[in-house]
Structure 1
Amino acid sequence: MFYEHQSIESQKNYKNMLTIFGNMSRLFSESESPYLYYRVHENIFTKYFDVNNNARSDDSVDAYNSTSGIGIGLKTWVGNDDQKVAEFGRLRSSYDNLVGIDLITKIAELRNIRIRTTKNAHGLHNMFYHIIKRIPKSMCIYETTFDEIDIPNIELIEDKGNDNNTYFNDGKHTYHFSRSKNTLFMIFNDMELLERFDVEIYEDPYEIISELSTRGIKSYSQIEVTNNNQLCLKLYSTKNDIKFVPEKSGLNQWNANGRPRDLNEIYIPYPAEDRRRGEFFPSRDTPFELELPDGQLISAKVCQQDSKAIMSNPNRLLGNWLLRTVFELKEGTIVTYDMLREFNIDSMIFTKLTDSKYKVEISELGTYENFYGLKDVEDIV
């Protein structure tokens, strides 16, 4: 297990910070079980352990370490151990007419695609869940396996469920799919308890906050908040409010007419609306170092007429990673927006580390709109 192999100091700091936030539960809840917002949990975990925070990408893992090849799904809850593990609302049309084993097989396939895509993108070979379960006056630390669904061994649980909820088991875990919520749940009934610690819930946290405010702490309004070091680029184009992947450019640049091209040749579109957001990348044809999610370093540059593309040098490197390793597509396969929907990926977030070094993360459907506060359009092929 991951937690047991962390340093005593890291474990202590982790529990201490969880306790502090639990102490302040009365700000949010009257429950006797400590309150812990899931985003806070993600940030605390990645602060005190040697992992990258992947929560913003919202793929199958919330944290990872490519060097050791581990990916972690972070969860926290009170009460029922039947917890959400994936949502498929944007893909409802692909299973809306299915029932029974056909429905569950399709959901399992979509779930497994997302897990494999996450593993491939970050170079992971071992994934698990790290869980904080909150009970009255305490927090419990659990861990359990994070597996693909074993489709050949799926069996429906006939004596449970109804027209809306279908329960099934794959020999490793028990799941249920809610049609109304388009959500897959897993029953976490095989967790290993690693530690339990007490959390005092302060009756009047407002008094403590008031005391802190008198100690000269800089107010939030005085803190400069900037997003200038990040840029989100979409992997698709839009026409008449319809999203699509062009057949001969972008992720399908290898299929363009003209000169002979490597089957892995692609580019990340850098359209005018994003170039107008300000100077972010070096000038056209100036190489910069790009760190991929799996830690691989490649050379890249802004290129093409009007500086409309981000390409690797040589140009096959980026496509070999994204098309072959992450998406697991065979050479000659035209990428469509429908494929991106299944992968739950349609954009990338670039982070500027220095003037000549950047890193990139793949991002879930809708990230581009959320990143810039835009209205989403129809995600139709």
Structure 2
Amino acid sequence: MWSELDGGKKEKYKALITNFASLSEAFSQKVSSDNMIEIIESVAPIVNSKFQETAFQRAFGAVGEDIANTSYDASLEIDATHKYLVGIKSFGFHSGDQKIAQFKASSVTGGWSTILAEARSNAERLGDKNLADKENAPLYLKVATELANLRNERIASSKELVKGFDASDVSVKAIYHVLMPSKKGEDPQIHVGETDYRPIDIENIEILGSTALLKSTNFKFTDGQHIYKYADADSQLFMKFHNKEIVVDTWQVSYLDDAFSFFENLHEETIDVPKRKNVDRTISWMIANEEGNVEESSGFNGFDGATKLSKSNGYREKRIDSFRKKYENLLSETDMNFIISHLQEILLKKYPKKEDKREMKRVRSELRDKMISIDNNEMKDAIFSMVYRPVSEMYIPIPESRKFHDENPDFFGERIGTFNNGSKKLALNKEGRTFELEFLPSGNRIPSYINQDDGKGIQSINKQGILGEWILRGVFQLKEYEQLTGKRLNDLGINAIRLIKFKDKSGVIGLEFTWIDVENPPKDAVGWVSRNRKK
């Protein structure tokens, strides 16, 4: 990536970073020598990680990302068909392994600590690292494989967000961009490093053993591309960056003679800092409910609702009979009877209550498992088209939608959030409720509108299937007919949505998938999580 970036922009980035680092001596500490004379201890150039991220965005026009549990901090467009995911890091040039991911929630649901507790017990019993590593290798492999799958899904999801739903010709590469300052006492320099940020090659995972006999719950492994270390205490994944081998540029740092004078006189400087984003306001909300569950049968799980097959003129009975006649020679009598009886129970029986609908879904799950075991895609598609809604059907639900629209009737556009008196029906017709939904960071736009009772859904106008396929299969990495769950959200590090209303983009609303700390939600949060906001 570094070699592809504009030279002038790289110089601007260098100036921002080295100018900041030139103030490092202001943060040095006084120490006493043997003859009691106070001296200033030499310091390493300081690289502040948050400033680094902002400087990178400012210099290269990159888009900052705000998703937990992922290793990337920005996305960068080289041209219309060439984009980068960038993990931005800073660490000392002589430092060791670096944290690249965390799996707190997933490690609990996966029982990784229990697995590694067995490894610790084996190590204590054997008292020899080599013997313990050999016996524990299958345990380490199980954890390594599971965390590798999660990491790869996060990477794939991140790439989909940057690529967008309408970009078959867009190439998205991922890279770690690192700044590595020299250590104290050395010539002050900052080394620019770059290395691949790629999925873990699961097929080639090789366990390298525990980090130490007494730390047998921590282990190392490689996939032939990188060397990783997993630490059980905080469910953290580390990676060896091979610091000296990844250097692509080196910057000299010159310290200011009097850094304190700079700070003393800073207020006298006239600084004109242009606004980076022309944002009117934002709102964010959790995708799951307060219990951590994603709504069933609607919203992102719209496909899981009851079938929309017509009931008039015996249409459902005819569909069942048609299936029997078409496939009776391909199935055993036992299998055919199983399928027909389940179709009849699902399609012909009434399910008025919530408990009844749960029973219908149980029967449908039995039928689904049977069709998967038969392993005939044409037959499976014929059945699923009868008992499910379209596989990519979805809309984006707005929590406490009536309250939100009443308080913000013009958020999506003039009077879009208004209702007929005493009604749940929106006042404007469909054409009057439309706007452009812009997905960030890809920049893809799609005509959308507010729909349903109480205006609870954001729905695309003419690309519902394409949008659903991208969000469900791409962003959330779900298989067909797999429900979005709270666990999946935690695994991917995406649990929330943020909408952005721009000052300079009339009729355009931005949308990004993000992460909200439930214990400390942002000021723009709405819905149940907003009640956790500290006052």
Same fold flag (TM > 0.5): yes
- Say which one has the larger Rg: 2
CA contact (8 A) 1:234 1:347 kept: yes
The structural deviation recorded for 1:144 is 0.8
Higher strand share: 1
* 1:339 alignment counterpart: 488
Q: How far does the alpha carbon of each residue in 1:211-268 deviate from its partner, in whole angstroms, 9 at most, with x for none?
A: 121245699xxx9x99742221322222xxx111111122112322374543212122
What is the alpha-carbon distance in structure 2 between the residues aligned to residue 277 and residue 84 of structure 1?
A: 43
What is the alpha-carbon distance in structure 2 between the residues aligned to residue 86 and residue 29 of structure 1?
A: 31
What is the alpha-carbon distance in structure 2 between the residues aligned to residue 169 and residue 120 of structure 1?
A: 26
* 1:267 alignment counterpart: 395
What is the alpha-carbon distance in structure 1 between the residues aligned to residue 62 and residue 467 of structure 2?
A: 24
Select 1:129's aligned residue among 176, 184, 189: 176
* 1:357 alignment counterpart: 508
Question: 1:47 is matched by which residue type in structure 2?
Answer: R
Q: How far does the alpha carbon of each residue in 1:31-67 deviate from its partner, in whole angstroms, 9 at most, with x for none?
A: 611112211111111111143222x234342122353
CA contact (8 A) 1:153 1:170 kept: yes
Matched residue SS, 2:448: strand
What is the alpha-carbon distance in structure 2 between the residues aligned to residue 16 and residue 218 of structure 1?
A: 17
* 1:288 alignment counterpart: 435
1:38 aligns with 2:55: no
* 1:57 alignment counterpart: 67
CA contact (8 A) 1:341 1:365 kept: no
Question: 1:326 is matched by which residue type in structure 2?
Answer: V
1:246 aligns with 2:256: no
* 1:117 alignment counterpart: 157
The structural deviation recorded for 1:373 is 8.0
What is the alpha-carbon distance in structure 2 between the residues aligned to residue 368 and residue 296 of structure 1?
A: 32
* 2:469 alignment counterpart: 320
Unaligned runs of 5+ in 2: 30-41, 117-139, 164-170, 310-388, 418-429
Higher helix share: 2
Consecutive aligned runs of 4 or more in structure 1 exceeding 6 Å deviation = 373-378
Q: Which moved more, 1:336-345 or 1:288-297?
A: 288-297
Question: 1:86 is matched by which residue type in structure 2?
Answer: A
1:206 aligns with 2:221: no
What is the alpha-carbon distance in structure 2 between the residues aligned to residue 275 and residue 206 of structure 1?
A: 52
Percent identity over the alignment is 25
TM-score with structure 1 setting the length:
0.87
1:70 aligns with 2:84: yes
What is the alpha-carbon distance in structure 1 between the residues aligned to residue 159 and residue 13 of structure 2?
A: 26
Matched residue SS, 1:130: strand
The 3 A distance-change label for structure 1 pair 271 and 171 is same
* 2:373 alignment counterpart: none
Question: Cα RMSD between the aligned structures?
Answer: 2.9
Count matched residues: 369
What is the alpha-carbon distance in structure 2 between the residues aligned to residue 263 and residue 130 of structure 1?
A: 39
Q: Which moved more, 1:276-285 or 1:351-360?
A: 276-285
Select 1:98's aligned residue among 91, 115, 125: 115
The 3 A distance-change label for structure 1 pair 368 and 323 is farther
The structural deviation recorded for 1:179 is 0.5
Matched residue SS, 1:115: helix
TM-score with structure 2 setting the length:
0.63
What is the alpha-carbon distance in structure 2 between the residues aligned to residue 376 and residue 35 of structure 1?
A: 37
CA contact (8 A) 2:153 2:477 kept: no
* 2:14 alignment counterpart: 15
Question: 2:302 is matched by which residue type in structure 1?
Answer: Q
Select 2:147's aligned residue among 88, 92, 107: 107
* 2:286 alignment counterpart: 234
